[in-house]
Every structure is written in C-alpha cells, then in structure tokens.
Amino acid sequence: MDLKTIIPRTEIWLKRAGRVNRNTRRLWRRLALFLAVVGPGFITSNVDNDAGGISTYSVVGAKYGYALLWSLIPMTIALYVTEEMCARLGVVTGKGLSDLIREEFGFRPTFFVMVTGFLVDLGNVVAEFVGVAAAMEIFHVNKLIAVPIAAIAVWILVLRGTYRQVEKIFLVACLFYVAYIVSAVLARPDWLLAAKSVVVPHMQFNAPYLLMLTALVGTTIAPWQFFYLQAGFVEKRVGPRQYPQARADVLVGSVSCMIIVFFIIVCTAATLYISGHRNIADAKDAALALVPLAGRWAGLLFAFGLLNASLFAASILPLSTAHVICEGLGFEGGVDYKFREAPIFYWLYTILIAVGAGVVLIPGESYIKILVFSQVANGIWLPIVLIFIVLLANRRDLMGEYANTKSFSAIAWATSVAMIVLTIVLVVAALFPSKFGGVPGL
C-alpha cells in the first residue's frame, strides 16, 4: 500500500505545507514588523531622507545658507498632520491604506493610484541608484561597476536573505544617518545663527527662492511613505488602545526626519554657501566641494551618508511598492511565493530594480527625464492620495470616535491643499525647465 492510499490527498498537503510554513513568514510582513519595533514613524522618516532628498537639502544649504531653515518647522507640522492620519487609520481599522482605498472607493480609483504610484516609485528607485552612482564616484568607483553590484546586492538581500540578516543590515543603515550630524559638526557652522534661522521666518519673494522652498517640501513628503507607515502599524498589531504611543512615534519620526534635514542644510550652508560655492547641482557636488572646505573626512562622510541612504531606500522601495500594489489589487504577493504563484509581484519587483538601475547606466543624462517624469507623476499622485487619506480619516462610520474632529479636519484639509498647490507648482516647473530654471536638486 502506498502513502497516498493511507492518507488521501497527501501530496496536496505536502505541497501546501511548503507554502503555509508558518516559520518562514513573509519577509515583507517581518520587515514591516521590524519597522514597527523600532517605530514605523521613525523608520519611514529615515527612508524618506533618500538620495533625492539629500540632493535637494544640500542644494538648499549651498544656495541660500541658513535662509530656508525656518521652513523646517511648518514642514514638521505638515508631515506630522498627514502621517498621524495614516497611523490612526491603520490603528483603528487594522487595514493597510491600499486595502482601505480599495474597499471604500472601489477598483478603478485603486488601480489608478497603484499605476501612478508605480511610476512615481520607479522614478524614486532611479533616483536611489543615481545616488549610489554619485556616492561611489566620490570613492573613485565607476558607476558601470557600482550600480550593477548595488542592484544585485539589493536583489539578493531581499529575495535570498533571511529576515535576521536584513534586520541587522537595516538597523545599521539607520544608525549611519548620524554621518550627516558628524559632517555638519566637522563643517564648524555658526550654530547660533542656524538656531535663530529655524525660528525666525525669512521670506524672499523671488521665483528661484520660492521654487527652492517648494522643492524642499515636495521631496520631504512622498506619498509612498503613507502606505508604508500604515502597513507598519497594521503589522505591529497596534490597536486603538496603543494609539497614544503610535501618535508619539509619528511625532518622533517627523521631528527626527527634520533634524537630519537640518544638519544637511547646515553642513552645506556653513561651507559651500559661506565660501561662495553656491551653484552645486546635487549631493555629489556637495560632497566633493566639502573636501577642501571642511576636510576630507567631512566630504567622505557626506558621500557615505548618501550611499547609505540610497541603498537603504533602494532595498525597501521596490519591495514595498510591489507589495502595496499586489495587496491593493488582490494579487498574490510575497517573497515566500514561487515565481509561478505570484508572477505579478515578481515582475513588478524585477522591473523596479532592473529599470531603476538600468536607466542610470545609459550613457548621457537620460535619467533626468525619468526623474522629471516621476516628479510629474508624483504631482498627480500626492493630491489624490492625500484627499483619500483625509476623506477616510473624516469618516465616522469607519473611524468611530477616532474620526477627524471638525477642527482637525480643517487643519488636514489646509495642509493637504497647501501641499497639493506646492506639488503642482513643482510639476509645472519640472515640465517647463526653461521658464523656471528647472527644479532644484533634480
């Protein structure tokens, strides 16, 4: 007698046992959980200070010195107001943002959000690999070597790495953001002036200044971080009772994000701005220019910070994007599925990394076009996602006593409208660079 007759459907059980193995939990879930342990708010903000962000902050410091530092406080508030709503949605409903959009607004809006989101994130991934290329060039490694190695490393880390390894690497990556604080200290800034600039608003009414301000806000608030943040709270199984802690975490995250921004701006302001190197294009220029001004270590640390941030975001972004899309549209997704079982998930993931890294390798500066395109897609995406978030958080039938109060709703709408206007300005500037002198940091 063979096994099959003794235990009917043995082979089915065996086959399924492989997938349902509860100890090899989905990497994404565990990652989200890890973010949860450290604090989803904290990590999300760290990921948010990615290559694109760092470039913009360096340019801001080099071009205007401390003059734009005052915008950090309103930005922290905007970041907090919007992220807090996501945290609340996640905590109260126990569902991810894409799930909620799907259930409350239907298939087509979800599809639209997911497709545009994919394009935006693709642009972001390109920016991360541009960051990798730039940072490695400072260490005298050609991008033709650095970028493919980085792409493969990210690929292997996520698809083949065990959760423990990934966790350790990410934790270390988080710590490396300290590099910017050290660089800033090495740059010997005028701390008193910097502190004063944070609290005293300084407004100039000319186009380049306003555009710079817009770019600063635009790069700090990225829609995908909302999906990410909410997933973190959902996976952490934070219930309404722990909502105060969740809110505190979001606050810490928003503030710590701005602290890093502060140090980057201060670093380039104290060196490049003061010495007159005011027209740098990106973070790489900043790092190179730092060497003669603040010493070799400041420059190398700056470049290292850029590399770290780029790799960190490049590891998380494609994975989370593929997951959010699959979840929202109801496809199988996760690294513990075989390719055959979750083809859409793997294709999305592959395209994001392969195209993201591939574009950077094309000779010339064709990736700039992709970045512009991504900025435009972001300009369409952010308003929609923000409106969905506010609408969801306003709903009493969904949120009960945790729904937005009238006054909070007003603040949320005001913040969202302000961010939407700024983003649209950026889109216009990105589309017509000749008229507006292009988008700083792009």
Partner 1 sequence: MLHATEMLGASAYDVQGNFVGRVRELFIEPAEQASRVARYLLGRGKFQPLVAKYDQVASVAPGTMRLNVSEKALEEYHSNEAWLAVQKDLLDQQIIDTEGRKVVRVNDLDLTEHRVNGSVELRVSLADVGLTGAVGRLLQGVAPPSLIRRIQEKLPTHMIRWEFVNLIEPDPLRRIKLRVSHQKLAHLHPADLADILEALSSEERQSIIDSLDEESAAETLAELDVRLRRQIVEKLDPEKAADIIEEMQPDQAADLLATLPADTSKEVLAEMPQHEASDVRKLMKFDENTAGGMMNTQFVLVGEAATREEVIEWIRHIEHDPEQLDAVFLNDTDAKFAGVVPMGRLLLASAGETMASIRSEPVLSLPPDASEKDVFELFDKYNLRVLAVIDENGSIIGTITVDDVVTRLAAKV
List contacts with partner 1 (CB under 8 A): 16, 20, 22-23, 93-95, 99, 102-103, 106-108, 110-111, 162, 164, 234, 237, 239, 329-331
Nearest to 39 by CA among 51, 47, 27, 49: 47
Amino acid type, 48: D
Nearest to 375 by CA among 436, 306, 289: 436
Least Å distance, CB 89 to partner 1, is 11
- Closest to partner 1 by CB, 255 or 384: 384
- Closest to partner 1 by CB, 94 or 295: 94
Least Å distance, CB 94 to partner 1, is 3
Exposure string of 220-257, with b = 16+ CB inside 10 Å and e = fewer, is bbbbbbbbbbbbbbbbbebebeebeebbebbbebbbbb
Please check whether residue 41 is in contact with residue 253, taking contact to mean a CB–CB distance below 8 angstroms: yes
- Closest to partner 1 by CB, 270 or 393: 393
Least Å distance, CB 22 to partner 1, is 6
Least Å distance, CB 25 to partner 1, is 9
Q: Take residue 413 and report the two structure tokens written for it.
A: 């709408």
- Closest to partner 1 by CB, 84 or 99: 99
- Closest to partner 1 by CB, 19 or 369: 19
Least Å distance, CB 343 to partner 1, is 9
The Cα 192–Cα 409 span in angstroms is 37
The Cα 88–Cα 163 span in angstroms is 27
**Strand, coil or helix: what is 3?**
helix
Residues 6+ apart with CB under 8 A from 66: 190, 193, 194, 197, 265, 266, 269
- Closest to partner 1 by CB, 331 or 373: 331
Least Å distance, CB 246 to partner 1, is 14
Nearest to 389 by CA among 205, 230, 253: 230
The Cα 30–Cα 236 span in angstroms is 9
Least Å distance, CB 159 to partner 1, is 18
- Closest to partner 1 by CB, 63 or 236: 236
